[in-house]
């Protein structure tokens, strides 16, 4: 389509809906948050329209940087754990045939028919000292004292792994699906063994799917706040908890907005690095259509 | 102009007109009171009675914290006619003129209220609020697992606990600091930074020994995941009803008293009906049913006289006078609040 035809053709309705939605639900709220981050909180908790950069300066205090690095670190470990579990799942799903594959995909997503908070409470009742897992292990004498999982960082990791896994499996699965089986056969014909075929043919062809899947879980984990509260016992804050507290407890909306702004910048940098790194420009969305 | 654009224009105009018609219709239809409340507070039957007797419809919506209510009202949510903030939130909302002045002549049943609750420090003379229920914060102990010391329960039982990872603290900055300040024989409303810093250090050490911060420790107490909990009296009474070994104590150093109130936001369009609603729940018969459902204490002296001997003498709901003397309302910390907020963030990071 050349530039001339775009100026004369009316914008299609679908595009208007799309652009309107993006404007109302993404762009406008972001602008409000951005604008608010330059304001000030009055002693009684209202907004004062005195523009300044203090909130951003404040967010570079040691305490907030510490929370930021901890959040990134935990999200990173949890993403790697998701990969460790999710990759074999995706690999096996992609290679299975017929009803097995359909059933596998359905089973992967069935938990998501239940509300997120309910699933977290489900984990609470499983993982506690008097929870199902510990009680079964105690009953059969496998352990003598309950294993502390709930309200520890391990509990947080389990919650993250459980809730985000499918978002990583699907992009990897769909890039494996698209991998032409003839490529593997050609590799074998040319004398490569299974490991060589995997590392030199499969991995290079699906690495973008792996990367995108990892981003799909890593990015929302950075903003997580329910899991650290309910499974971590509200003892260790993620950046999301600090943000939510600024809005709902401390009533410091400008500072909360500044943290939200910085988090958005962090996400944009991650996405920008991803586009730089991948061979084709733009975020490849092939994982999304599954 | 292309056909599609005309279609879009028609759709948009259609939406605008229907919403305008809807808004007009809403204004002329019989009044509907929108009440923002806590969950499990009003028995359905009493709300139905109110609608039958007055013709005023009621729509309940629920909040889970005072801060949530504040955020909703401040973000410009209009249409609420009755809100139920706690004491400290009344003070804050009153200072910001978010609450409408009450017309006491429309509240004849106010004479049932105990004198003490007509002149509370946060709103003397019931200018903008009417207390509806009150309760305390203290410690719940599973006495089957924890021996009650002969010299009485102190905050140290919770805060210097010999039951590591079997205790919980309220997930509330002011309440947690209050507990430690009581332990140090200071007022829970201390605004002195040195004392608060010292309290922060203590909480930091305690943090590793408590299992979790939560404002709903009841289920964990009942499952015996925890044996000592920092808790609101209403939750403790309910836990006690299900497991008699769980007992509630106001520690000997003192505890916190709080109230839930009725107030009318200044943005309300139905102030007359809102007064009728408040007056209805000041009526002893209706207040009695509500108090029995919520396990809270009533500030309504007529209701209290109607309670059974056991209910009236339940020390967990109505602390005896010598303990009542040691109860404090949380007061506004003013300029110290941001520093305390910062300390709380540091504690949680």
Query: Domain holding A251: CATH number?
Result: 1.10.3720.10
Are B215 and B168 part of one and the same domain? yes
Inform me whether the C-beta atom of residue B2 falls under 8 Å from chain A C-beta atoms: yes
Q: Tell whether B323 is covered by a domain.
A: no
In this prediction, residue A279 carries a pLDDT of: 56
Q: How many CB atoms are closer than 10 A to CB B125?
A: 10
In this prediction, residue B251 carries a pLDDT of: 96
pLDDT tens profile A86-97: 999 999 999 898
A contacts of B89 (beta carbons < 8 Å): none
Report the gap between the CA of B346 and the closest CA in chain A (Å).
Answer: 6
CA–CA gap between residue B349 and residue A238 (Å, rounded): 8
Q: B45 near B290, Cβ under 8 Å?
A: no
Inform me whether the C-beta atom of residue B9 falls under 8 Å from chain A C-beta atoms: no
DSSP annotation of B122: T
Q: Does residue A70 surpass a pLDDT of 70? A: yes
CA–CA gap between residue A205 and residue A223 (Å, rounded): 30
- Which 3 state secondary structure label does DSSP give B86? strand
How far, CA to CA in Å, does B71 sit from each of A67, A143, B183, B334?
25, 48, 33, 19
Out of B8, B214, B225, closest to residue A234 by CB: B214
Contacts A–B by Cβ distance under 8 A: 79
Are B158 and B168 part of one and the same domain? yes
Q: Is A233 in Cβ contact with B211 (below 8 Å)?
A: yes
B contacts of A252 (beta carbons < 8 Å): 338, 341
Contacts of A51 (CB under 8 A, 6+ apart): A38, A39
Q: Tell whether A40 is covered by a domain.
A: no
A contacts of B345 (beta carbons < 8 Å): 63, 237, 242, 245
- What is the rounded average pLDDT for all residues in chain B? 91
- pLDDT band of B24, cuts 50, 70, 90: low
In this prediction, residue A284 carries a pLDDT of: 46
pLDDT tens profile A24-69: 999 999 999 999 999 998 877 778 888 999 999 999 999 999 999 9
CA–CA gap between residue A132 and residue B99 (Å, rounded): 49
Which residue stretches of chain A are H helix? 3-8, 13-22, 28-36, 54-58, 62-95, 98-109, 116-127, 132-139, 153-178, 181-189, 194-197, 203-222, 226-230, 239-248, 253-277
Report the gap between the CA of B225 and the closest CA in chain A (Å).
Answer: 6
Q: Which residue of A has its CA nearest to B207?
A: A235
A contacts of B67 (beta carbons < 8 Å): 248-249, 251
Are B338 and B211 part of one and the same domain? yes
In this prediction, residue B11 carries a pLDDT of: 72
Interface list for chain A against chain B, based on CB atoms closer than 8 Å: 10, 12-13, 16, 43-46, 63, 66-67, 70, 128-130, 148, 150-151, 233-237, 241-242, 245, 247-252
Structural domains counted in chain B: 3
Out of B2, B224, B345, closest to residue A242 by CB: B345
pLDDT tens profile A231-278: 999 998 999 999 988 988 888 899 999 999 998 888 888 888 878 776
Q: Tell whether A80 is covered by a domain.
A: yes
CA–CA gap between residue B297 and residue B117 (Å, rounded): 12
Are B123 and B142 part of one and the same domain? no
Candidates B91, B222, B225, partner chain A, best to mutate (most A CBs within 10 A): B225
Q: Tell whether A14 is covered by a domain.
A: no
A contacts of B171 (beta carbons < 8 Å): 234
Q: Is B70 in Cβ contact with A251 (below 8 Å)?
A: yes
CA–CA gap between residue A92 and residue A86 (Å, rounded): 10
Token match 């009953």: residue?
A139
How far, CA to CA in Å, does B25 sit from each of B16, B18, B30?
14, 10, 10
* Closest-CA residue to B223 (of A146, A158, A156): A146
Q: Which residue of B has its CA nearest to A240?
A: B349
Q: Which domain holds residue A246?
A: 57-283
Out of B8, B211, B341, closest to residue A250 by CB: B341
Are B233 and B297 part of one and the same domain? no
In this prediction, residue A289 carries a pLDDT of: 42
Least confident span in A49-58, B27-36, B201-210, B225-234: B27-36
Are B214 and B341 part of one and the same domain? yes
pTM of the model: 0.85
B contacts of A129 (beta carbons < 8 Å): 225
Q: Does residue B221 surpass a pLDDT of 80? A: yes
Inform me whether the C-beta atom of residue B5 falls under 8 Å from chain A C-beta atoms: yes
Out of B8, B341, B344, closest to residue A13 by CB: B8
Q: Tell whether B107 is covered by a domain.
A: yes
Report the gap between the CA of B254 and the closest CA in chain A (Å).
Answer: 25
In this prediction, residue B263 carries a pLDDT of: 97
Out of B5, B68, B345, closest to residue A63 by CB: B345
Are B267 and B124 part of one and the same domain? yes
Are B199 and B334 part of one and the same domain? yes
Out of B212, B335, B346, closest to residue A151 by CB: B212
Candidates A8, A235, A256, A258, partner chain B, best to mutate (most B CBs within 10 A): A235
Read off the CATH number of the domain in which B166 is found.
3.40.190.10
In this prediction, residue B42 carries a pLDDT of: 86
pLDDT tens profile B49-101: 999 999 999 999 998 888 889 888 887 767 899 999 999 999 989 988 999 99
Q: Is A236 in Cβ contact with B4 (below 8 Å)?
A: no
Out of A63, A245, A250, closest to residue B346 by CB: A63
Structural domains counted in chain A: 1
B contacts of A150 (beta carbons < 8 Å): 225
Q: Report the Cα A172 to chain-centroid distance in Å.
A: 15
This model of the complex carries an ipTM of: 0.82
pLDDT tens profile A139-175: 999 999 999 999 999 999 999 999 999 999 999 999 9
Q: Is B212 in Cβ contact with A235 (below 8 Å)?
A: yes
CA–CA gap between residue A237 and residue A257 (Å, rounded): 17
Q: Which residue of B has its CA nearest to A234?
A: B213
Are B214 and B342 part of one and the same domain? yes
- pLDDT band of B2, cuts 50, 70, 90: low
Q: B33 near B81, Cβ under 8 Å?
A: yes
- pLDDT band of A286, cuts 50, 70, 90: very low
A contacts of B207 (beta carbons < 8 Å): 235
DSSP annotation of A179: S
Contacts of B348 (CB under 8 A, 6+ apart): A234, A235, A236, A237, A241, A242, A245, B213
CA–CA gap between residue B122 and residue A271 (Å, rounded): 51
Q: Report the Cα B252 to chain-centroid distance in Å.
A: 23
Least confident span in A279-288, B22-31, B282-291: A279-288
Out of B4, B67, B212, closest to residue A249 by CB: B67
Q: Tell whether A4 is covered by a domain.
A: no
Phi and psi at residue B230, to the nearest 5°: -80, 125
- pLDDT band of A117, cuts 50, 70, 90: very high
pLDDT tens profile A171-225: 999 999 998 889 989 999 999 998 999 999 999 989 889 998 999 999 999 999 9
Q: Which domain holds residue B297?
A: 30-134+260-318
Are B161 and B249 part of one and the same domain? yes
B contacts of A66 (beta carbons < 8 Å): 349
Out of B5, B67, B338, closest to residue A10 by CB: B5
Q: Tell whether B25 is covered by a domain.
A: yes
CA–CA gap between residue A202 and residue A195 (Å, rounded): 10
* Closest-CA residue to B214 (of A233, A247, A238, A154): A233
């Amino acid at each position: 389509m050349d530039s001339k035809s775009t100026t004369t053709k009316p914008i299609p309705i679908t595009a208007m809906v799309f652009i309107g939605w993006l404007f109302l639900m993404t762009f406008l709220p972001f602008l409000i948050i951005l604008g608010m981050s330059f304001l000030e909180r009055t002693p009684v908790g209202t907004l004062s329209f005195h523009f300044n950069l203090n909130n951003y300066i404040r967010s570079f205090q040691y305490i907030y940087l510490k929370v930021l690095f901890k959040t990134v670190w935990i999200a990173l470990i949890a993403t790697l754990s998701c990969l460790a579990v999710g990759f074999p799942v995706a690999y096996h799903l992609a290679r299975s045939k017929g009803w097995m594959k359909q059933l596998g995909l359905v089973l992967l997503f069935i938990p998501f028919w239940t509300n997120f908070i309910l699933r977290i409470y489900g984990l609470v009742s499983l993982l506690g000292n008097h929870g199902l897992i510990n009680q079964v292990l105690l009953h059969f004498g496998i352990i003598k004292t309950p294993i502390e999982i709930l309200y520890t960082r391990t509990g947080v990791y389990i919650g993250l792994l459980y809730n985000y896994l499918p978002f990583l499996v699907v992009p990897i699965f769909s890039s494996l699906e698209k991998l032409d089986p003839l490529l593997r056969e050609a590799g074998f014909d040319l004398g490569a063994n299974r490991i060589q075929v995997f590392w030199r043919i499969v991995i290079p062809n699906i690495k973008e799917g792996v990367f995108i899947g990892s981003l799909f879980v890593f990015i929302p984990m950075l903003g997580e706040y329910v899991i650290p509260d309910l499974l971590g016992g509200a003892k260790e804050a993620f950046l999301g908890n600090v943000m939510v507290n600024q809005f709902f407890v401390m009533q410091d909306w400008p500072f909360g907005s500044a943290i939200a702004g910085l988090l958005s910048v962090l996400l944009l940098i991650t996405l920008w690095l991803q586009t730089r790194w991948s061979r084709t420009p733009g975020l490849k969305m092939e994982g999304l259509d599954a | 102009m292309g056909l599609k654009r005309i279609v879009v224009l028609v759709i948009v105009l259609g939406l605008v007109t229907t919403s305008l018609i809807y808004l007009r219709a809403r204004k002329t239809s019989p009044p509907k009171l929108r009440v923002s409340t806590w969950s499990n507070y009003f028995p359905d039957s009493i709300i139905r009675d109110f609608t039958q007797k007055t013709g005023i419809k009621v729509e309940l919506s629920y909040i889970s914290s005072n801060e949530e209510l504040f955020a909703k009202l401040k973000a410009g949510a209009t249409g609420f006619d009755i809100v139920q903030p706690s004491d400290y939130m009344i003070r804050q909302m009153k200072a910001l003129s978010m609450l409408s002045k009450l017309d006491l002549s429309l509240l004849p049943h106010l004479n049932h209220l105990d004198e003490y609750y007509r002149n509370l420090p946060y709103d003397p003379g019931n200018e903008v609020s009417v207390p509806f229920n009150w309760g305390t914060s203290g410690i719940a102990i599973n006495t089957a697992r924890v021996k009650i010391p002969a010299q009485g329960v102190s905050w140290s039982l919770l805060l210097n606990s010999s039951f590591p990872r079997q205790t919980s603290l309220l997930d509330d900055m002011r309440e947690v600091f209050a507990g430690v300040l009581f332990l140090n024989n200071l007022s829970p409303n201390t605004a002195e930074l040195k004392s608060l810093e010292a309290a922060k250090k203590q909480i930091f050490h305690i943090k590793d020994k408590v299992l979790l911060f939560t404002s709903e420790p009841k289920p964990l107490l009942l499952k015996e995941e925890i044996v000592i909990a920092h808790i609101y009296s209403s939750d403790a009474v309910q836990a006690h009803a299900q497991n008699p070994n769980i007992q509630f104590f106001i520690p000997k150093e003192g505890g916190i008293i709080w109230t839930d109130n009725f107030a009318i936001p200044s943005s309300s369009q139905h102030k007359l009906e809102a007064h009728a609603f408040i007056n209805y729940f000041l009526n002893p018969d209706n207040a009695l049913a509500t108090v029995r459902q919520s396990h809270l204490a009533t500030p309504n002296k007529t209701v209290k006289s109607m309670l059974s001997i056991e209910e009236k003498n339940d020390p967990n709901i109505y602390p005896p006078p010598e303990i009542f003397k040691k109860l404090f309302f949380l007061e506004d910390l003013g300029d110290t609040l941001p520093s305390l907020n910062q300390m709380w963030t540091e504690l949680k990071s």
